[in-house]
C-alpha cells in the first residue's frame, strides 16, 4: 500500500512500507516549506522509521471507542497495520497534513451536522455513540468519544471527504464513566480562559451539559487546514500509548528548540499557565499529547492554545490519579517548591511571578466556581458534578498555595457551603483506579 501525503492540499510526499519498516519520501518538486513534520524536513533521502508508522502519523490515530467503531465499520479495508488505518481516516484530521490512498478511501458521502440541534437537544449516550459511528472517519486522537463532521452552517460545498476536511469544530461527548463531561471540561477551561492571559481553545457546551463543541485552532476562517500541529509525544518519538511516560522536563526539551528565542518568554508563560491550571483544577490527564506546537512555517512555531483541561478528580474512579507528567522525578499534587523551582530554572519565570500566576488562577477558580453553583441551581442534574468539581478545585488551590494546606487556604469552602453541597464522594477504591479506562490510560502513582 502506498499513500499520498498532502500539505494544505498539495501533494508533497509518499508514505509506504519498506520491508518491515515505514518510509516517507518527498516528491522531487517539494519545497522546503512543504515539510510534513518538524522532525522530518524536506530532503532527497527517504525518512525511514523501524517497524511502525513515523510518530508524526501516529499522533492523531484514534483510540478507545472511536478506534473500535472504525474497525467495525471499515474492517474489510484494514489489514491490521496502522498504514491501512491511516488510509481510511487520514483524509480528515487535525493539522495541515492529510493522507489519502492511491485508489481513493472507502466510504460514502456524509450528511452535514446541525450544530444547533446538537447543542440544544438532549443527546443521550446511545445517540452520541450513533453519531460517532456515522462520522467515524477522522484522524483524531483520544479515548473520549469525539468526532469531526461537516456542518450545515458551512458554506455550500460537495459532501464527503472534502467537506469533512472543512470542519471547524471537534465534537466531544460523555460516557457512563464520565457523566456530564461537556459541563466539566467547559468550566474547567474557563478557569484559564476568563483571565485572558493565555491562548485557550474556545468551547461551547450543550444545554444538557453532555456535549462539548471545541473550535479548532488549526483551520482558517473557511475551515480549511492551515496550520501544522505536533504534540510532544510525537516530537519525542514515542507511540501514543506511551503518552504518560515522559516527564515535564522531557516535554519541555522536545518542544522548546523549535520556538524562536525572541518568542520564548511569552511561550514559556503560555506553557506555565497550562501547567498551573491543571494543578488548580486537578486534571490528571495532561499528558504529553496534550502539550503541542502550532506553526505556519519553521520560523513561526508556538504552543497551541490550551485544550483538553478536565477535572478528572471529580470522578471517583479517577480521584486517586496523580498528575500525568512528573516534575523532578515525582508525580504528586503536593508539589511543594518543586513546581516553583521548575518554573524558575526551566521556564525562566521568577518565584514572585509564579506566585502571582497561582493567585490569579485561584481567584479565577473562585469566580468560575460561583458560576458553576449558579448553573447547578438552575439545572439540578448538574449538582453532583458541580459538587465534585468544586471540592477538587478547593484541594488543588490549597496544594499550590502551601505544602501543608490549611482550611484558611481553601477559598472555595464558603461557596461550597453556601450551595449546600455535601462532602465529595470518596474515590472508588473498589476498582482499579490506576490503569486503563475509558478516560485515562496506564498511569503511575507519585512517589
Q: What is the pLDDT of residues 233-244, one digit of tens each?
A: 999 999 999 999
Choose the weakest-confidence range: 143-152, 211-220, 379-388, 413-422: 143-152
| Percent of the chain whose pLDDT exceeds 90 | 61
Q: Is residue 427 part of a domain?
A: no
**Confidence bin at 290 (pLDDT 50/70/90):** very high
Q: What is the pLDDT of residue 413?
A: 94
Of 143-147, 166-170, 186-190, 320-324, minimum mean pLDDT range: 143-147
pLDDT at 169: 83
328 domain-assigned: yes
Residue 90 domain-assigned?
Answer: yes
Asked if the structure places residue 53 within a domain, the reply is: yes
Average pLDDT over residues 322-344: 95
Mean pLDDT within 383-401: 96
- pLDDT tens digits for range 190-232: 999 999 999 999 999 999 999 898 999 999 887 788 999 999 9
Say if 369 falls within a structural domain.
yes
Residue 64: inside a domain, yes or no?
no
Residue 391 reports pLDDT greater than 90 = yes
Residue 150: pLDDT over 70: no
The pLDDT-based confidence of 62 (bands split at 50, 70, 90) is confident
Q: Secondary structure of the chain in the HEC alphabet?
A: CEEEEEECCEEEEEEEEECCEEEEEECCCCCHHHCCECCECCCCCCEEECCCCCHHHHCCCCCHHHHHHHHHHHHHHCCCCHHHHHHHHCCCECCCEEEEECCCCCCCCCCCECHHHHHHCCCCHHHHHHHHHHCCCCECCCCCCEECCCECCCCCCCCCHHHHCCCCEEEECCECCECCHHHHHHHHHHHHHCCCCCCECCEEECCCCCCEEEECCCECCCCCECCEEEEHHHHCCCCHHHCCCCEHHHHHHHHHHHCCHHHHHHHHHHHHHHHHHHHHCCCCCCCCCCCEEEECCCCCEEECCECCCCCHHHCHHHCCCCCCCEECCECCCCCCCHHHHHHHHHCCCCHHHHHHHHHHHHHHHHHHHHHHHHHHHHCHHHHHHHHHHHHHHHHHHHHHHCCCCCHHHCCCHHHHHHCCCCCCCCCCCCCCCCCCCCCCCCCCCCC
Q: 158-162, 251-255, 410-414: which range is least confident on average?
A: 158-162
Residue 114 covered by a domain? no
pLDDT of 163: 23
- Domain holding 356, by residue range, is 245-418
pLDDT at 248 over 70: yes
User: Is a pLDDT exceeding 60 seen at residue 126?
Assistant: yes
Query: What per-residue confidence (pLDDT) applies to 134?
Result: 62
**Tally of domains in the chain:** 2
Full-model pTM:
0.86
The answer to whether residue 440 scores a pLDDT higher than 50 is: no
What confidence tier does 116 reach under pLDDT thresholds 50, 70, 90?
Answer: confident
pLDDT at 166 exceeding the cut of 80: no
Does some domain include residue 372? yes
Mean pLDDT of the chain: 85
Q: What confidence score (pLDDT) does residue 223 get?
A: 78
Kindly report which listed range (80-84, 314-318, 340-344) carries the lowest average pLDDT score.
80-84
Amino acid at each position: 500500500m502506498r499513500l499520498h501525503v498532502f500539505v494544505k492540499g498539495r501533494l508533497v510526499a509518499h508514505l509506504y512500507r519498506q520491508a518491515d519498516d515505514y518510509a516517507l519520501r518527498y516528491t522531487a518538486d517539494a519545497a522546503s516549506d512543504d515539510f510534513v513534520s518538524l522532525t522530518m524536513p524536506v530532503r532527497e533521502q527517504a525518512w525511514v522509521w523501524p517497524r511502525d508508522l513515523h510518530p508524526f502519523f501516529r499522533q492523531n490515530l484514534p483510540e478507545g471507542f472511536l478506534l473500535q467503531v472504525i474497525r467495525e465499520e471499515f474492517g474489510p479495508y484494514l489489514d491490521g497495520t496502522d498504514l491501512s488505518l491511516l488510509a481510511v481516516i487520514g483524509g480528515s484530521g487535525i493539522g495541515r497534513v492529510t493522507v489519502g490512498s492511491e485508489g481513493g478511501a472507502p466510504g460514502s458521502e456524509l450528511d452535514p451536522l446541525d450544530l444547533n440541534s446538537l447543542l440544544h437537544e438532549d443527546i443521550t449516550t446511545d445517540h452520541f455513540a450513533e453519531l460517532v459511528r456515522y462520522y467515524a472517519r477522522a484522524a483524531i486522537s483520544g479515548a473520549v468519544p469525539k468526532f469531526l463532521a461537516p456542518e450545515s452552517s458551512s458554506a455550500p460545498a460537495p459532501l464527503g471527504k472534502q467537506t469533512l476536511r472543512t470542519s471547524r469544530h471537534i465534537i466531544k461527548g460523555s460516557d457512563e464513566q464520565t457523566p456530564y463531561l461537556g459541563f466539566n471540561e467547559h468550566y474547567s477551561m474557563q478557569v484559564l480562559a476568563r483571565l485572558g492571559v493565555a491562548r485557550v481553545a474556545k468551547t461551547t457546551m450543550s444545554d444538557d451539559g453532555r456535549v462539548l463543541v471545541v473550535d479548532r485552532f488549526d483551520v482558517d476562517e473557511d475551515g480549511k487546514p492551515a496550520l501544522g500541529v505536533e504534540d510532544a509525544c510525537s516530537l519525542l518519538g514515542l507511540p501514543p500509548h506511551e503518552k504518560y511516560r515522559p516527564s515535564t522536563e522531557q516535554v519541555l526539551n522536545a518542544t522548546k528548540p523549535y520556538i524562536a528565542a525572541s518568542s520564548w518568554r511569552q511561550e514559556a508563560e503560555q506553557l506555565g499557565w497550562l501547567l498551573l491550571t491543571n494543578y488548580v483544577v486537578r486534571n490528571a490527564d495532561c499528558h504529553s499529547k496534550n502539550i503541542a506546537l502550532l506553526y505556519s512555517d519553521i520560523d513561526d512555531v508556538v504552543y497551541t492554545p490550551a485544550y483538553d483541561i478536565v477535572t478528572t478528580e471529580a470522578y471517583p474512579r479517577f480521584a486517586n490519579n496523580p498528575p500525568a507528567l512528573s516534575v523532578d522525578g515525582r508525580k504528586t499534587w503536593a508539589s511543594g517548591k518543586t513546581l516553583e523551582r521548575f518554573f524558575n530554572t526551566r521556564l525562566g519565570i521568577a518565584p514572585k511571578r509564579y506566585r502571582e500566576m497561582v493567585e490569579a488562577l485561584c481567584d479565577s477558580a473562585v469566580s468560575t466556581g460561583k458560576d458553576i453553583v449558579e448553573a447547578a441551581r438552575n439545572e439540578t442534574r448538574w449538582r453532583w458534578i458541580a459538587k465534585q468539581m468544586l471540592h477538587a478545585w478547593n484541594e488543588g488551590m490549597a496544594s499550590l498555595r502551601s505544602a501543608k494546606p490549611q482550611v484558611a487556604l481553601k477559598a472555595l469552602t464558603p461557596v461550597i457551603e453556601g450551595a449546600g453541597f455535601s462532602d465529595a464522594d470518596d474515590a472508588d477504591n473498589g476498582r482499579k483506579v490506576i490503569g486503563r479506562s475509558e478516560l485515562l490510560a496506564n498511569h503511575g502513582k507519585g512517589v
